[in-house]
């Protein structure tokens, strides 16, 4: 009996255990995977969170993620030498199943294996800022897209600047970043190449300070004691440049040595403003963060991405800081010119320039009064976007008499001494409009041309290019031509009159987008709803939207933001004593659906 009872107990225990295991197995089937929920999230892994450079990177990434509704989390280490800590962060992200890792590696070689591990787990990896070591990636059989600037080129810009400032003679020391790290090595190499090219400049010494201010202070002090006469110091980042500046002050050499950094952080800019640091490089970390997240998100959504996404470089020097530039703009109600101002203001902020702005509100007399007032403000340079080619001439001559250099943007001035004129090639743009017509028609074509403000160079040149090119196409005929002064309402009224007189036309070319939008307004109200080819000029936002909606065939983009930016950059080159080209062109492009 006892044996039978024990057997029953054993059988019951086995049955209970089996049921429990079966229950747990089924339960596990319904428990969400520990990784679930992170597969659509992008992790941004940066180096030293205490460095303002990486704060900008984080801001750019977060801004883009918010705008595009992309799940993003940010991680980082305290010091740029915390390589093992950064590897540990990546291990954790892999175990938690994140969809993508965007990484600015603390070490170019040691981070490659963990990046490979992430890729093997089907995690997207994008490398930003500091390139991973190509040979190590090749050995491990991985290929990782890179977003960033060319560190060799950026440092070379400093090298060329120093060479010019020193007239090709002198002794220079280099404060390096972490040795073996790709961007540190590229900056050192790029600087030395350019500063010594076609010069007698000597590299007196080169030591690492591991990106840190405190180490740079110590290293620079020792180098200055060892090498008595030094003319310039290049530091591979701004943090170290601040340390080198402290060493200069301690050694009593303030004002006798050129100092340059790299990154354009605010504390370095403050010293540039005071002529204590002389140059740095802006490599736009906010764009590195933005582009890195953008590429990761595209890859997560199965889209093809480039292997290399380059971010721009800008040389920032002390000569432009505290300079005062005046901008007289024709009409800020026109979005083209407000965009031009936006580009100019952003560039002025970047180069430490104070920008004074006057809006002429499309009035010739008002622009002359504005220029006269601006010339009383002790400005260093005047930029004019003329309301009229002829009427602006007395204002230019007033500036000439005061020896104030003048740059004209978009529209020319018919007289006066001009340092530089910046524009799109309006003649070429007019020709491009004919090319669009030729693509759409093979037979006879009847075209209406809506002109801008008579007397402006933009009106004259766009019309000239358009009509010259038409001579190659005898079957394309102008059946009506009228001026609408670059104004939408006037263009609508002009088109309404044309429709009453002769609605038998196939296409309209307007000298700007505001006028072609006015044409569209008139056509919408007309009983004649036939399809016509409509071409504008400027690529303002509303025109680009009209292209996407199928209301506008094409618009010719002349990039006013770049025009404004280039106006300031040309002024900065003038302040540096560079020779200025009398005419600079901004590239045109055609925008179609």
* pLDDT tens-digit series, residues 378-400: 999 999 999 999 999 999 999 99
Q: Residue 383 is encoded by which pair of tokens?
A: 């930029």
> Which residues are within 8 A (CB) of 127 and not within 5 positions of it... i.e. 6 or more apart?
103, 104, 105, 115, 144, 145, 146, 147, 148
User: What single DSSP character describes residue 31?
Assistant: S
* CB 174, CB 192: distance < 8 Å: yes
User: What single DSSP character describes residue 108?
Assistant: T
Helix (H) or strand (E) holding 187: helix 182-196
* CB 193, CB 159: distance < 8 Å: yes
Region for 80 from its dihedrals, namely left if φ exceeds 0, alpha if ψ lies in -120 to 50, beta otherwise: alpha
Nearest Cα neighbor of 284 from 364, 222, 350 is: 350
* CB 234, CB 155: distance < 8 Å: yes
Q: What are φ and ψ of residue 412, in 5° steps?
A: -80, 165
How many residues does this entry show for the chain?
Answer: 593
* CB 451, CB 481: distance < 8 Å: yes
Q: What are φ and ψ of residue 102, in 5° steps?
A: -105, 115
pLDDT value for 486: 95
Planar angle of CA 181, 187, 190, nearest 5 degrees:
135
Give the DSSP letter string of 147-179: EE--HHHHHHHHHHHHHHHTTT--EEEEEE-ST
Give the ranges where 301-425 is alpha helix by DSSP (H): 335-350, 364-374, 393-401
Going along the chain from its start, the domains and CATH numbers come out as: 42-148 (3.40.50.2300), 151-282 (3.40.50.2300), 316-424 (3.40.50.2300), 426-560 (3.40.50.2300)
Strands (DSSP E) contained in 10-149 are: 42-48, 72-77, 100-103, 124-128, 146-148
Q: How far is Cα of residue 493 from the mean position of the Cα atoms in its chain? A: 40
What is the dihedral angle through the alpha carbons of 387, 393, 397, 403, rounded to the nearest 10 degrees? 40
* CB 586, CB 557: distance < 8 Å: no
Q: Taking the model in full, what pTM does it have?
A: 0.79
Strands (DSSP E) contained in 484-587 are: 507-510, 533-538, 554-557, 583-586
* Integer Cα distance of 102 and 368 in angstroms: 53
pLDDT value for 16: 52
Specify the pairing of strand 554-557 against strand 589-592.
antiparallel
pLDDT value for 25: 37
User: What single DSSP character describes residue 333?
Assistant: T
Specify the pairing of strand 279-282 against strand 314-317.
antiparallel
Dihedral sign of CA atoms 94, 96, 99, 102 in order: negative
Share of the chain above pLDDT 70, in %: 94
pLDDT value for 442: 87
pLDDT value for 497: 95
Reported as a single tens digit per residue, the pLDDT across 23-76 is 443 433 333 344 447 889 999 999 877 888 899 999 999 999 999 999 999 999
- Average pLDDT, 10 consecutive residues per value, the chain (593 residues): 45 49 39 58 90 91 95 91 94 96 94 97 96 95 96 97 97 96 94 98 97 97 94 97 97 95 96 97 96 97 95 97 97 93 97 98 97 98 96 97 97 94 94 95 94 91 96 95 96 95 93 97 90 95 95 94 97 97 94 93
Bridge partners, 203 (sequence order)? 172
pLDDT value for 124: 97
Bridge partners, 166 (sequence order)? none
Q: Residue 474 is encoded by which pair of tokens?
A: 């005898």
pLDDT value for 12: 46
* CB 252, CB 241: distance < 8 Å: no
**167: number of Cβ within 10 Å:** 10
Give the ranges where 274-382 is alpha helix by DSSP (H): 285-300, 335-350, 364-374
pLDDT value for 529: 82
The side-by-side arrangement of strands in the sheet containing 124-128 is 72-77, 42-48, 100-103, 124-128, 146-148, 308-310
Q: What are φ and ψ of residue 216, in 5° steps?
A: -65, -40
């Amino acid at each position: 009996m006892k044996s039978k009872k024990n057997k029953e107990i054993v059988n019951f225990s086995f049955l209970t255990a089996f049921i429990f295991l079966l229950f747990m197995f089924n339960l596990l089937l319904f428990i969400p995977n520990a990784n679930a929920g992170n597969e659509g999230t992008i992790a941004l892994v940066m180096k030293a969170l205490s460095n303002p450079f990486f704060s900008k990177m984080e801001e750019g990434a977060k801004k883009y993620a918010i705008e595009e509704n992309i799940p993003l989390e940010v991680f980082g280490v305290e010091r740029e030498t915390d390589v093992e800590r950064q590897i540990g962060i990546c291990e954790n992200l892999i175990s938690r199943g994140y969809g993508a890792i965007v990484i600015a590696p603390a070490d170019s070689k040691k981070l490659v294996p963990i990046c490979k591990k992430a890729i093997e787990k089907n995690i997207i990896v994008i490398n930003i800022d500091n390139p991973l070591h190509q040979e190590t990636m090749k050995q491990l059989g991985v290929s990782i897209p890179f977003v960033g600037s060319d560190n060799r080129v950026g440092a070379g810009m400093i090298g060329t600047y120093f060479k010019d400032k020193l007239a090709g003679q002198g002794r220079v020391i280099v404060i390096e970043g972490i040795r073996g790290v790709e961007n540190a090595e590229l900056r050192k190499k790029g600087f030395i190449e350019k500063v010594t090219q076609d010069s007698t400049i000597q590299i007196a010494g080169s030591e690492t300070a591991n990106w840190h201010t405190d180490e740079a202070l110590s290293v620079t002090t020792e180098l200055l004691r060892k090498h008595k006469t030094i003319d310039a110091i290049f530091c591979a980042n701004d943090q170290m440049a601040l340390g080198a500046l402290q060493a200069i002050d301690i050694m009593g050499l303030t004002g006798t040595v050129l100092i340059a950094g790299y990154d354009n952080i605010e504390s370095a800019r403050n010293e540039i403003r005071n002529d204590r640091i002389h140059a740095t490089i802006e490599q736009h970390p906010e764009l590195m963060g933005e582009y890195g997240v953008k590429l990761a998100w595209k890859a997560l959504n199965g889209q093809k991405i480039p292997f290399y996404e380059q971010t721009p470089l800008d040389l920032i020097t002390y000569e432009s800081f505290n300079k005062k530039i005046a901008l007289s703009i024709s009409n800020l109600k026109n979005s083209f010119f407000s965009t031009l101002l936006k580009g100019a203001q952003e560039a002025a902020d970047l180069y430490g320039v104070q920008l004074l702005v006057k809006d002429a509100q499309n009035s010739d007399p008002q622009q002359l009064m504005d220029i006269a007032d601006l010339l009383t403000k002790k400005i260093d340079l005047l930029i004019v976007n003329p309301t009229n080619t002829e009427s602006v001439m007395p204002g230019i001559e007033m500036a000439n008499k005061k020896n104030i250099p003048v740059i004209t943007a978009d529209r020319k001035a018919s007289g006066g001494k001009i340092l530089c004129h910046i524009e799109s090639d309006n003649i070429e743009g007019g020709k491009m409009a004919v090319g669009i017509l030729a693509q759409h028609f093979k037979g006879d074509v009847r075209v209406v041309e809506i002109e801008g403000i008579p007397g402006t160079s933009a009106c004259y040149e766009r019309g000239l290019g358009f009509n010259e090119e038409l001579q190659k196409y005898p079957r394309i005929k102008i059946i009506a031509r009228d001026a609408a002064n670059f104004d939408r309402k006037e263009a609508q009224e002009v088109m309404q009159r044309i429709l009453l007189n002769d609605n038998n036309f196939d296409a309209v070319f307007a000298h700007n987008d505001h006028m072609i939008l006015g044409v569209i307004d008139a056509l919408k109200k007309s009983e004649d709803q036939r399809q016509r080819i409509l071409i504008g000029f400027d690529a303002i936002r509303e025109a680009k939207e009209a292209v996407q909606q199928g209301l506008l065939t094409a618009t010719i983009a002349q990039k006013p933001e770049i025009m404004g930016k280039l106006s300031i950059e040309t002024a900065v080159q003038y302040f540096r004593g560079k020779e200025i080209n009398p005419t600079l062109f901004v590239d045109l492009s055609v925008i179609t659906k």
